[in-house]
Amino acid sequence: MKRKKNNLRQKKKNLNRQYNTLISHAWQNEIILRRCQQMELCLMQCESFASLTDVLLNDAPKKFELDQITLILLDPRYEIRRLLLASEIDYHKAFPNLFFQCKSQTVTSLFDAEKLPKLGTYQSDLHADYFQESQTIGKTIQSVAALPLVQEQRMLGCLLFGDSETDRFIPDSATDFLQHLGAVISICIDMALLRDRLKYNSLNDALTGINNRRFFEQRLPEEISRCKRAETPISCLFVDVDHFKHFNDTYGHATGDLILKQVASIIRRELRATDVVGRYGGEEFVILLPNTNHRQALDIAERIRKCIQKHRCQYEEHSLQVTVSIGIADFQKFADENKTLHEIGQALVAAADSALYKAKQAGRNRIAINSGYTCQYSETAV
Percent of the chain clearing pLDDT 70 (strictly above): 84
Flag whether pLDDT at 107 surpasses 70: yes
Read off the pLDDT of each residue in 289-306 and give the average, rounded to a whole number. 94
Beta strands in the chain (DSSP E): 68-74, 98-101, 118-121, 143-151, 154-163, 211-212, 234-241, 276-281, 284-290, 312-315, 318-321, 324-331, 367-371
Flag whether pLDDT at 136 surpasses 60: no
Read off the pLDDT of each residue in 283-293 and give the average, rounded to a whole number. 95
Which pLDDT score is estimated for 60? 87
Task: Tell me the C-alpha distance between 156 and 148, whole Å.
Answer: 8
What's the pLDDT band for 381 if we cut at 50, 70, 90?
A: very low
Flag whether pLDDT at 177 surpasses 90: no
Topology of the domain covering 211-371:
Alpha-Beta Plaits (3.30.70)
Which pLDDT score is estimated for 18? 64
Report the CATH number of the 2-203 domain.
3.30.450.40
- Quickly count: other Cβ atoms within 10 Å of residue 214's Cβ: 13
The better pLDDT of the pair 227, 28 is held by 227
Q: Which of 65, 133, 283, 379 is catalytic?
A: 283
Which pLDDT score is estimated for 360? 94
If you average pLDDT over every residue of the chain, what do you get?
85
The predicted-structure confidence for 207-263, as pLDDT tens digits, reads as follows 998 999 999 999 999 999 998 888 899 999 999 999 999 999 999 999 999 999 999
Task: Tell me the C-alpha distance between 69 and 356, whole Å.
Answer: 53
Read off the pLDDT of each residue in 28-39 and give the average, rounded to a whole number. 61
Domain boundaries, the chain: 2-203, 211-371
What's the pLDDT band for 336 if we cut at 50, 70, 90?
A: low
Which pLDDT score is estimated for 76? 93
Which pLDDT score is estimated for 14? 67
- Enumerate residues 6+ apart whose C-beta is below 8 A from 11: none
Task: Tell me the C-alpha distance between 346 and 350, whole Å.
Answer: 6
What's the pLDDT band for 62 if we cut at 50, 70, 90?
A: confident
| Alpha helical stretches, state H, 142-235 | 176-203, 213-230
Q: Is 283 in the active site?
A: yes
Q: Measured between alpha carbons, how far apart are the two ends of the chain, in Å?
A: 117
Flag whether pLDDT at 367 surpasses 80: yes
Flag whether pLDDT at 174 surpasses 90: no
Q: How many helices (H) and strands (E) does the chain have?
A: 13, 13
Coil, strand or helix at 379: strand
Check for a shared fold between 2-203 and 211-371: no
Task: Tell me the C-alpha distance between 129 and 186, whole Å.
Answer: 22
Which of the residue ranges 131-135, 271-275, 320-324, 376-380 would you say has the lowest mean pLDDT? 376-380
* Residue 279 exposed, middle or buried by CB count within 10 Å (0-12, 13-18, 19+): buried
